[in-house]
Amino acid sequence: MTDQPQSRAPRRATVQELRLAAFKSHRGTVLPLAPVTLLHGAGGTGKSNALDALVALCGLAGGAELEQALAGVRGGLAGCAPHGRQGFRLGCSVGTPQGTVRLEVAVRTDGRPRIAAERLALGRQLLLSTGEEARGRISAAWHSDGRQGDIHAPLSARSLLSAQLPLRVAGANPGERRVLAAVEHLLTALRELFAVDPVPALMRGWVPVSDDARLRGSAENLAAVIARIQGECRIRFGRLVQTLRAGSSQPVAGLGVLRDASGGGERVITAVDEGDGHWTSAELLGAGTLRRLAFATVLLTGPGVLQLTSAAEVPDAERLLTVLAEDLDQELCAGLLPLAQELVPRGHLRLLATARTPARLPGVLEVRCERDPASGGSLLVPAPAAVAPGAAPAAVG
């Protein structure tokens, strides 16, 4: 998919494709990514595993050693390897104003975890390749226009090599500056990721109030974030109330928090005004209402209100956040996918969601996830509208 010519280069670095060569239940599958992508299928088919691949790449892009970088993936580093394997392989394509950057990485999990191979390319030009690995070091070569050609040096095999290059490449000539630019685009696109999986049981408690509250992936501190938004941005808060009202079967006259300062420090809990001044706290709200509220908060607020490790050097105006939303039911799909489509043209948001059933909404790229009865591995089948003209839809893998 990434070899197809693009009609227009993206303004910001954008993850356009995931390649799961050998990752958890996936072997040789490819997941194309659009501004709004819905991965659907029955439970146990590998939808969450595909999301974990993007979480893994996000962690690797942070530059930490492998165990720490992959701690956010379900099952940690060891859980990334397919059953019976001693490692995993995955990659991605990132669209940039200069062209498509492709990353491929292989990790060994036997013994001390290490990078076994890594390759980075811009279009058809190879920017980084690796050779032998031993004693925690791996031989690497990166592109240079210098008189002696490409630069060869050993790098640490304990973390993603691409994340090490900004401190190793001098940028002394156009070739090296091309490497640095490609790496910057790659790392920025991968690090601007927020996975949200609201847990209603955790959202029903009182939490400390904070002027700088940032939403966690479980949304357990949603009340503190709502209190912050209510005080900082009335327009976004108003849209949040509208979204909650549109998807609720019960009356919603208002949204806010109840406050308690009896314990010495102020605490808050989410509450909904059901009319006539009757406020119902999160302790009594349904799970569907709380999940809708959490997902809508993520879509309407942006990186500044989310707890994520992003590229600090990127100004807020240049950020492009990829939101991972897991296990949407039909009602959530009907309400949140159109909201995401409305916000996407502003250029700051992309959404990858999972659900058990397709949404069949115009403009949403839908990919079916299923199990191969012969191998037991996961397959990804794009919807007919996502297939290139003249090509029949087929399982990728």
* CB-facing half-sphere around the CA of 274: CA atoms within 13 A: 12
Could you report the per-residue pLDDT of 145-182, keeping only the tens digit for each?
988 899 999 999 999 999 999 999 999 999 999 999 99
pLDDT given for residue 308 in this prediction: 65
pLDDT of residue 305: 80
- Mean pLDDT calculated for residue range 245-255: 88
pLDDT at 313: 56
CA–CA separation, 205 vs 342, rounded Å?
32
Q: What is the mean pLDDT of the chain?
A: 90
What DSSP character marks residue 375? T
Domains and CATH numbers, the chain: 14-192+327-386 (3.40.50), 201-301 (no CATH)
Q: Tell me, what's the pLDDT at 302?
A: 75
The arithmetic mean of pLDDT across residues 207-227, rounded, is 91
pLDDT of 9 higher than 80: no
Q: How confident is the model at residue 387 (pLDDT cuts 50, 70, 90)?
A: very low
* pLDDT of 389 higher than 50: no
265-319 pLDDT, tens digit each: 899 999 999 888 889 999 999 999 999 999 999 999 877 788 766 555 555 566 7
Give the 3-state DSSP-derived string for 161-215, with helices as H, strands as E and coil as C: HHHHHHHCCCCCCHHHHHHHHHHHHHHHHHHCEEEECCCHHHHCCCEECCCCCCE
If one compares 13 and 388, the residue with the highest pLDDT of the two is 13
Of all residues in the chain, the percent with pLDDT exceeding 70 is 91
* Cβ count within 10 A of residue 58: 27
Residue 1's pLDDT band (cuts 50, 70, 90): very low
The type of residue at 381 is V
The pLDDT confidence band at residue 8, using thresholds 50, 70 and 90, is low
What mean pLDDT is predicted for residues 329-335? 91
10 Å CB burial of residue 252 (0-12, 13-18, 19+) is buried
Sheet holding 87-96, edge to edge: 29-32, 14-22, 87-96, 99-108, 114-122, 125-134, 137-142, 151-156
Could you tell me the pLDDT band of residue 262, with boundaries at 50, 70 and 90? Answer: confident
Residue 126: C-alpha distances to residues 100, 130, 175, 194 (Å)? 12, 11, 11, 30
What percentage of the chain reaches a pLDDT higher than 90?
78
Q: Model-level pTM?
A: 0.90
Does pLDDT of 190 surpass 90? yes
> So what's the pLDDT on residue 312?
55
Q: In the predicted model, what is the mean pLDDT of residues 28-47?
A: 97
pLDDT above 90 for 392: no
pLDDT per residue over 76-124, tens digit each?
999 999 999 999 999 999 999 999 999 999 999 999 999 999 999 999 9
Question: Once rounded to an integer, what is the mean pLDDT over residues 188-217?
Answer: 92
Q: What's residue 347's pLDDT?
A: 83
**pLDDT score recorded for residue 394:** 41
Tell me what pLDDT residue 3 has. 40
pLDDT tops 50 at residue 247: yes
Residue 5 predicted with pLDDT over 90: no
